[in-house]
């Protein structure tokens, strides 16, 4: 492998001169600089970018720790972060924690050993303990999580407002007996979505009985099982709010197996607006999270933090919107 010393010998100059020509750190006589460039071309010398970055105290890498990249929502966010990082000259290292705090800690150790410049982190329910260790070691941005005990940049979505939009939509279609398929209780997003949904019902003078709520796991199979339980516990419901699209799609399958049609027999609203939401049948009415903005703002905040480590922390809250498709209908009769 050609080294900078080989280039220096070929050009008849010092290693320092080659370095100055390559990095534009000091004036070099044009004739000498041209000789160095010719030597670089002749020897096909490619500098070790990692070694150069380490000398500058940076590796141009960002760690990205997500709960589950197989979830289309997180896959979309990861892609946006990767694209935004690439444009800024950074490589993104993706790790999936499966919501497991022990796995998170192991991945964090690996990422820190790789000397990442910063981290974008969407952690487990035990993320406060994990993040306390992390925040002292590397600049980081919390993604869709809040830790009040740590002064850190964060990009959030107003899940309460999203749940409220779902509730107001179903109430506006005349539904009064409505069920909910919630996500994990220890997540930060699902309780907020249910809270906003309940608020919309309360404004219309409606209650959400405990029997009309079944918690699940944000997965397709979990949504199918939750829909079956919901029909057994609350057979009178005419509409369902599922706290993410994968569970909503599982619910549609459960209803179809019972011979029930969406939206003729049951209206259904999801949350996330994953790509599959428009291809499932019927196309899913859902609450759309601003995936592109979530990813790009997370990268922007991290890069700004790297540029000014002492700046006050920032908290950005993004607003979801209702996307109406074909899985909801006005209550008949």
Of 67-71, 123-127, 237-241, 263-267, the poorest mean pLDDT is in 123-127
What is the rounded average pLDDT for all residues in the chain? 90
Which pLDDT belongs to residue 69?
85
With bands split at pLDDT 50, 70 and 90, how would you rate the model's confidence at 315? very high
> Global pTM?
0.82
User: Does residue 239 have a pLDDT over 70?
Assistant: yes
Which pLDDT belongs to residue 320?
98
What's the half-sphere exposure (Cβ side, CA atoms, 13 Å) at 224? 10
Q: Tens digit of pLDDT for each residue in 150-184?
A: 778 999 999 999 999 999 999 999 999 999 999 98
With bands split at pLDDT 50, 70 and 90, how would you rate the model's confidence at 37? confident
User: Does residue 55 have a pLDDT over 90?
Assistant: no
């Amino acid at each position: 492998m050609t080294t900078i010393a080989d280039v220096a010998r070929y050009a008849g100059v010092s290693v320092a001169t080659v370095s100055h020509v390559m990095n534009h750190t000091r004036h070099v006589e044009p004739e000498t600089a041209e000789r160095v460039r010719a030597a670089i071309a002749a020897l096909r010398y490619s500098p070790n970018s990692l070694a150069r970055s380490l000398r500058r105290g940076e590796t141009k890498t960002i760690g990205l720790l997500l709960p589950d990249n197989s979830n289309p929502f997180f896959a979309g966010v990861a892609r946006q972060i990767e694209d935004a990082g690439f444009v800024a000259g950074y490589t993104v290292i993706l790790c999936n924690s499966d919501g497991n705090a022990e796995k998170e800690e192991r991945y964090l150790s690996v990422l820190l050993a790789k000397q990442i410049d910063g981290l974008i982190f969407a952690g487990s329910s035990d993320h406060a303990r994990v993040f306390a260790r992390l925040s002292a070691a590397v600049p980081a941005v919390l993604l869709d999580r809040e830790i009040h005990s740590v002064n850190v940049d964060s990009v959030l979505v107003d899940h309460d407002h999203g749940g409220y939009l779902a509730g107001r939509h179903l109430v506006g279609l005349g539904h009064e007996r409505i069920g909910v398929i919630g996500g994990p209780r220890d997540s930060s997003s699902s309780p907020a979505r249910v809270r906003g949904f309940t608020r919309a019902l309360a404004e219309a003078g409606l209650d959400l009985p405990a029997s009309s709520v079944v918690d699940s796991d944000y997965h397709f199979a979990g949504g199918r099982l939750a829909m079956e339980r919901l029909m057994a516990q609350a057979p009178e419901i005419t509409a369902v709010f599922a706290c993410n699209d994968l569970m909503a799609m599982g619910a549609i399958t459960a209803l179809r197996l019972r011979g029930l049609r969406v939206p003729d027999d049951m209206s259904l609203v999801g949350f996330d607006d994953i790509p599959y939401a428009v291809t499932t049948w019927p196309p899913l009415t859902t609450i759309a999270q601003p995936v592109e903005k979530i990813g790009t703002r997370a990268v922007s905040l991290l890069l700004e933090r790297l540029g000014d480590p002492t700046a006050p922390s920032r908290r950005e809250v993004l607003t979801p919107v209702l996307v109406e498709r074909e899985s909801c209908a006005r209550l008949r009769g």
